[in-house]
Each structure stands twice: as C-alpha cells, then as structure tokens.
Amino acid sequence: MNRNDHNPSSDNGAKPLLALSGPAAPSREQALAPWHQGPGVLSAAAAPSADVTTYLHALRRHWAMAMVLGLLLAAVIGPPIWVLFGARYTASAFLRVAALEQALVFDTQETQHQTEFEIFKATQQQLLASRFVLNAALRNPEIANLPSVRAEKDEVGWLAEELRVHYPGEAEIMEVSLAGSNPREVEALVNAVVQAYLDKVVVQERNQRGQRLDKLDSVYIEKEKESRTKRAQLRQWVEKLGTGDMETLSLKQQSAMQELAAYRNQLMQVQFQLMRAEGDLKAKQAELQVLSEATISDTELDRFAYQDPYARQLLSELAAYRYSDAYTNAVARGNVKSGYVTRYGRDLGILEEQYRQRTDELREELRRQQLQEVESGARELAIEVQTLRDQQQQLIDEVADKREEAMRCGTSSIDVEMMRAEIEHLDQVLTGIAAERERVKVELQSTSRINLVQKAEVPEVQDRTARIPLTIFGMFVGLGLPGVGLVLWDLRRQRINSAHEVSRGLGLPVLGCVPTIPDRVIRRLNGSAPRQNLWHSRLTEAADGIAARLLRKAQVDKTRVVLITSAMGGEGKTTLATQLATSLARNGRSAVLVDFDLRRPAVDKIFGFPLRPGVCEFLRGGAELSELIQEPGNLDMGVITAGMWDRQALTALSNGAAAGLFDQLREQYDFVVVDASPILPVADARFLAQHVDAVVLSILRDVSQTPRVSEACEILKGFGVDLIEAVVTGPTEGGYKDMDYKPRLPAQEATAE
C-alpha cells in the first residue's frame, strides 16, 4: 500500500523535530507544520464565558488583519457620511398651546389643571404628527410635487420620521421643525403640515362644538314639548276629579300601595331564590353528565386507594420488592443475580397486576360514590325548585289582587302624583340643558387655545452640528467593527491561550511548557550563530524539564511507557515526542521512540530512516523486534518507524497486538516514548492508550481548542486511562523571557556529551 494513500479525516500534518542533531535536517514545510496547520473541521462549540484576557488573546492573534480591515472600512464609511450629512437647513414654525381656555364670562367646560394640561399638550403633539394630518398636507399638489417628496416611496412615513414636534423649555410654545438639504422645500413642508393641523384638528374641534350646540338645541326643544304635554294631561286629571287636593284619596291609595309593595318584594325574593335554585339544579345536572363521561384522575385515585387497606398493603409489598430488586441489581453478580432478578421480576409483575386490578375496582367505586353524591344533591334541588315555583305562583296571584284593589281605590291619585314627579324631573332636565347651551355659546365666542404664532420662513443658515461628530463616530465604528467581528469569531473556536487555562480550566496537570520557535529561526535552528544556539538551548531546557518530571514519576509509580498524542492533528505531538525521547537519552536513560501514527508517519522523515520494516510489519507478524530498531548515529536511543499501514495492521492494533510490542520494549529500555495519532479523528490512539502507563496531550497555544481537548480527555477516560497530563507549546509563562540563557559553544557541547 502506498504510504501517501491515507485517510484524510486523520490528517494531522507533518511532525517536525526542532533542535535535533540527526542525519537529516527537517524541511521548512515540516518545521512549520505544527504551528501553521489548522485543527481540523468539526462542529463549532458555543463560545464560553470569556474574561478580559481571553478577548486580548483573541485580539493578539488577529490585530494586524483587524487594523487593515478597520482602516479600509473607516475609509469607506467616512466620506459617505460626510457627504450625506452635508449642507442641511432647518425650518421651524411656532404655535401657542394655552394652558387654560380663555373664558369670557365664567369657567368653561374645557378648563383644566396642570396635569391635564400636560396630557393636552402630548395629545396635540401626537395629532400634529399623525398620518391623517400628514396625508392632508401631502395632498396639496405643490407639496406633492416637491423633489424631496417624490423621491420617497412612503411619503407619509418619511415625513413622520423627519418631522420634529416638541415644546422648548416645557412652555406653552410648540415648535414644528424639519431639516433638509433644500431650504425652500423644508419651509413649504413645515407650513403645509401646520396648516393641515389647524384645518383638520383645531378648526374641526370648534366645528364639533357648534354641532354640539345644535344637538343641545334639538334636545331642549324635544324635552320642552314633552313637558307641555305632561302639564296638559295633569290639568285633565284635575278637572276630572273636581279638585286638585288629593289627600283623601291618597290615604287609601297609600295603604294599598304599601301592601302591594310588600307583596312585590316577597315575589322578587322568591323569584331570585327560584332563579338561583334553577341555576344550581342545571349545574348539578351538567356536573352529573360530565362526571358520567369523565375519567377519574390519578391524583383522586391515589388518594382514594390510600384509604383502602388492601391497596395500601399492595403498595407496601410493591415498594419492598422494588427495593429488593434494585438492591440485587446493585450488589449481586453472575448467576446469583440472574436468579434473584427472575424471581423478583415474576413476583413484582404479579403484585403490579393485582394492584392494577384493585385500582380499577377502586376507580369504579369512586365513580359510583361521586355519581350518588351529585344525584342526591340534584334531587334536593329539584324539590326546592318545585316548592319555590308554588310560592311564586301564589305571590303572583296576591300581587294581582292588590294591584286591582289599589287601582280601584286610587288610580287617579297615583297617576296624578306620578305625572307631577315626571313634570318636576323634566323641569330639572330643561334647566340643565339651558345652562349647558349658554356655556357652549360662550365657548364658541372665546379665543381658541391653539394659535399660530409664527409661520416657518426660508432658513438661510446651514446646520452642520451633526456632520463632524457623525463622521468621526462612523469612522471609529468602521475601524473597530472588523476587530470586534474577528474577536467574536475567534472566541467561538475557544482556542487555548495559556497553560493556566489547561490546568485550571480543563483540570489537566501540566508537565511543562515548550517555547514557540519563531518562523525566521526554524530553518537555521541547528546553526552555530548565537541566536540559533539561544533558541536551541531554550528548547533543550524545556524538554529536559519535562523529562526530569517523567524520571521522577518513573521512580515513584513505575511510569515507563508514555503515549504522546493530541486532540487533533497539527498540535506539535511529534515534535514533543521526539524531543522527549532525545532528552531522556541525553540524561543517560535508554529510550526508544516508537512511531505509532500509522496513517501519517513522520519520524522516518525526521531521522532519515526507511519507513519499513516498522510497527505495522510487527503487528502483522512479518518482522521481529530486533529488525525494527534503528539508532541515530549521534544519540544513544532507539527509533522504530511506522511501517507500511494497511487494514490488517489496524485490525491487529484493535485486537491488542501492541501490548506484546510494549512488553518486549519494557525489557530492553528504561523508557518507551510512543508518538500516536490524534485522539478525535481516528481510533488508533484509543487502542494504544489501554496498554501504556501515562498519556501526555500535546497542546499548541492559539491552535488547540478547549472543547476538542476536553472531548479527547473524556474518550481516554472512557478507555480506562487514569493518568492524563499535558504539555503546552507556545506560552511564555514560566520565565522563558527572564531566564539567563547562555548558549554553549560547540566545543562546550562536545565536552558535555
């Protein structure tokens, strides 16, 4: 199988070796891969809550692009705003809105208090800017043909948005103003709107007062005619009785009327009681109908079942069996558990069936009880209704008798008194109408509360107050908008900014930090110049610090086989594995570097070794361990390349064939450093993690993403890996800037070796 025919989903880029003295120096593309290759394509995680430092890190990564785009956008936004808010003119008209109606003789109906005046002012302000007033102004042909009006699709909406109506200083003066580029057009529009407001609101209000006066005149004439008719009827009754004194007839009439009133009161009470009883009866009948069709709720059934001794006993037994079943599932194992589960399941099913049958019986019993209770109440109400109907009929007969008696003895007296009361009431109504007529007549003669003080004039002075600040504001917005967008886009990716985020945010122990080698010195890192020696020394010191911690762990908990991996590709895991194995060899430990990134091998390119025989050949059973180990010329360490990958090797890996390789390597070497594939794209590293002592995640600052690293940790824990640590590449925490690195000369290095 061709070594370039790999699964694209597992692509993690070339793994360069930095500052390694080997037979072949890495190419620039290989050296730049861990820092320039993206983390892969997966679904974007939701942005976490970020502090100020997170935003600053995001801005640090994109400040150059944000500055360039911001300058371009500011240059694009500024000139249009400057032109758009160029020469503008404002025309204003003023109207006086009086606080009180100016009365001629006495206070009118419209007299208001201060709080009412504020409402009146707000109402007039809304009316002036209302659509029906603006429509009336725009119906004027001269106004409709103005260029600024014709240019708008929604002339009314545009005019309502541009027109400004307010009260300067909260006084009685209402200012109506409009700003535009043509002074004559804004003057004409303001005057047209003010005139339409005066015609449609102010004049119309006075016309409504005149219509109200006409209505009052019509009502006064009608009521006066009705009063004359009543007085004529009263004179006829007096002539018929022969006297205007009705005291004699009134005594008997009063007695009969009192009895009639008493019977009427009783009749009304009985009718009210009958109405209520009939309503209750209908409600009971409806309740009976609903109850016969409704189902018993679980809450009612549970409450009723709790009162039943047999149901309570079944519930207690069910609870006991469920507890025993849960306890058996949690504690018992093997055949014992199966036997108990079968027995408890059978007994539990029998008890549940008995409880269901009992609840069905109780449901029917509860329904019968409810129906009996409602039927009993309905029968009682039916008896009450029939009794009240009998009383009603009896009282109706008695009221009819008393009414006939009262009419016989005092019909004339009653009619006369009622007519006198009606005439008196009509006189009071006529007096009120007459007073209101006079009031409205006075209001019509008074001065209007709203008067035009000054019409709008053609403005001569340009208004430039908003031009400069708006232009500056727009350019600042354009300058900052790309930065904000890039920062928000970057935050959605949740990149790791520092080792602190790994240790505190993800809860991973950090073995150490590896400095990021600048791009300009990567290709010359093995040179003899002082700067190359400085970076070489920094990288060596970082790797030695991580190796020292591994040596200590090996003494404490026998950690010898270390798996180096990452969440996604391109996060510097091969660099870390190579440097770690090299550092262990420099510290006098026998170490072997095993390339288990079978799909994207890189160790063979770094050391200049042939790709096979390697790990894949061992997994397929085609090579022995002694055939796989290769040694660099200047390092006391072993290197095992990946070999030629195929599906057979992957199958052997998933079946645990790597355990045999690790067992043999443990016998020959103090440390086994495994460069594995990334966790998330493929499953190779997950199979390997079950056979190693510790897993070290390589995390690359500004590239690794928190959700991906967290997901990788969860997967490893799911495969039984308890010891997971991290190495962060890139951050300067730990004092790289402050350490006094003194690069050793080549002669000194040779002596040290």
Please work out, in degrees rounded to the nearest 5, the angle formed at the alpha carbon of residue 74 by the alpha carbons of 70 and 77.
135
Can you give the residue ranges of every domain in the chain?
60-86+465-490, 247-441, 494-748
Q: What is the pLDDT of residue 725?
A: 85
Q: What is the pLDDT of residue 673?
A: 92
CB 552 within 8 A of CB 664: no
> Prior bond to 309 cis, omega within 30?
no
H-helix segments, 558-657: 573-586, 603-607, 615-619, 625-628, 647-654
Write down the pTM of the prediction.
Answer: 0.45
Which helix H or strand E contains 595, and what residues bound it?
A: strand 591-596
Give the confidence band of 412 by pLDDT, cuts at 50, 70, 90. Answer: low
| Separation CA 573–CA 509 (nearest Å) | 17
**Which pairs with CB-CB distance under 8 Å and at least 24 residues apart come from 521-528?**
522/16, 522/18, 522/28, 522/31, 522/32, 523/28, 523/31, 525/18, 525/19, 525/31, 526/19, 526/20, 526/21, 526/25, 528/746
Sign of CA dihedral 488, 492, 495, 498: positive
Q: Is the pLDDT of residue 149 over 90?
A: no
Q: Is the pLDDT of residue 66 over 70?
A: yes
User: Which are the contacts of 142, defined by CB distance < 8 A and separation ≥ 6?
Assistant: 188, 192
CB 626 within 8 A of CB 592: no
pLDDT digits (tens, 9 = 90+) for 481-507: 888 887 888 778 778 777 777 878 787
- Between 245 and 438, where is the model more confident? 438
Helix 247-293 × helix 334-445 angle, to 10°: 150
pLDDT digits (tens, 9 = 90+) for 217-227: 888 888 888 88
In CATH, which of 3.30.70.330, 3.40.50.300, 3.40.47.10, 3.40.640.10 is domain 494-748? 3.40.50.300
For the segment 100-126, the average pLDDT, to the nearest whole number, is 67
Q: Is the pLDDT of residue 17 over 60?
A: no
For the segment 687-706, the average pLDDT, to the nearest whole number, is 86
Give the confidence band of 32 by pLDDT, cuts at 50, 70, 90. Answer: very low
Lowest mean pLDDT among 159-163, 334-338, 470-474, 604-608: 334-338
Q: What is the pLDDT of residue 296?
A: 67
- Between 602 and 203, where is the model more confident? 602
Quickly list DSSP for 516-573.
Answer: PPPHHHHTTTTSSSHHHHHHHHHHHHHHHHHHHHHHHHHHHH---EEEEE-SSSSSSH
Q: Is the pLDDT of residue 110 over 60?
A: no
Q: What is the pLDDT of residue 675?
A: 92
| Separation CA 113–CA 579 (nearest Å) | 89
Q: What is the pLDDT of residue 745?
A: 38
- Bridging pattern class, strands 510-514 and 591-596: unpaired
The mean of the pLDDT values for the chain is: 75
For the segment 72-84, the average pLDDT, to the nearest whole number, is 75
pLDDT digits (tens, 9 = 90+) for 350-379: 877 877 787 777 777 777 777 777 778 878
Q: Which residues pair with 724 in a beta bridge?
A: 695
Q: Is the pLDDT of residue 442 over 80?
A: no
Does residue 656 come out as left (phi exceeding 0), alpha (psi in the -120 to 50 range) or beta?
left
In 3D space, the residue among 432, 434, 427 whose CA is nearest the CA of residue 217 turns out to be 434
Quickly list DSSP for 414-460.
Answer: HHHHHHHHHHHHHHHHHHHHHHHHHHHHHHHHSPPSEEEEE------
| Separation CA 651–CA 620 (nearest Å) | 9
Give the confidence band of 34 by pLDDT, cuts at 50, 70, 90. Answer: very low
Q: What is the pLDDT of residue 565?
A: 92
For the segment 213-234, the average pLDDT, to the nearest whole number, is 82
Lowest mean pLDDT among 194-198, 532-536, 569-573: 532-536
CA-only gyration radius of the chain, Å: 50
Please work out, in degrees rounded to the nearest 5, the angle formed at the alpha carbon of residue 190 by the alpha carbons of 186 and 193.
140
For the segment 560-574, the average pLDDT, to the nearest whole number, is 88
In eight-state DSSP terms, residue 222 is H
Q: Is the pLDDT of residue 112 over 60?
A: no
In 3D space, the residue among 570, 512, 521 whose CA is nearest the CA of residue 541 turns out to be 512
Q: Is the pLDDT of residue 557 over 80?
A: no
At 560, phi and psi to the nearest 5? -125, -35
Q: Is the pLDDT of residue 325 over 90?
A: no
CB 21 within 8 A of CB 586: no
Q: What is the pLDDT of residue 408?
A: 58
Q: Is the pLDDT of residue 733 over 50?
A: no
Lowest mean pLDDT among 432-446, 554-568, 648-662, 672-686: 432-446
Lowest mean pLDDT among 142-146, 185-189, 298-302, 624-628: 298-302
Q: Annotate 552-578 with b (16+ C-beta within 10 A) or e (fewer).
A: ebbeeeebbbbbbbbbbbbbbbbbbbb
Q: What is the pLDDT of residue 5?
A: 39
H-helix segments, 294-333: 298-306, 309-331
Give the confidence band of 639 by pLDDT, cuts at 50, 70, 90. Answer: very high
| Separation CA 82–CA 467 (nearest Å) | 6
| Separation CA 675–CA 614 (nearest Å) | 13
At 354, phi and psi to the nearest 5? -65, -40
User: Which are the contacts of 584, defined by CB distance < 8 A and separation ≥ 6?
Assistant: 547, 550, 551, 591, 637, 670, 671, 673
CB 285 within 8 A of CB 380: no
Q: Is the pLDDT of residue 6 over 80?
A: no
| Residue in the structure block whose two tokens are 């640590």 | 725
CB 572 within 8 A of CB 731: no
In 3D space, the residue among 498, 512, 634, 521 whose CA is nearest the CA of residue 18 turns out to be 521
Give the confidence band of 9 by pLDDT, cuts at 50, 70, 90. Answer: very low
- Bridging pattern class, strands 510-514 and 637-640: unpaired
Q: How far is CA 399 from the centre of its chain?
A: 71
596 CB neighbour count, 10 Å cutoff = 28
For the segment 59-85, the average pLDDT, to the nearest whole number, is 77
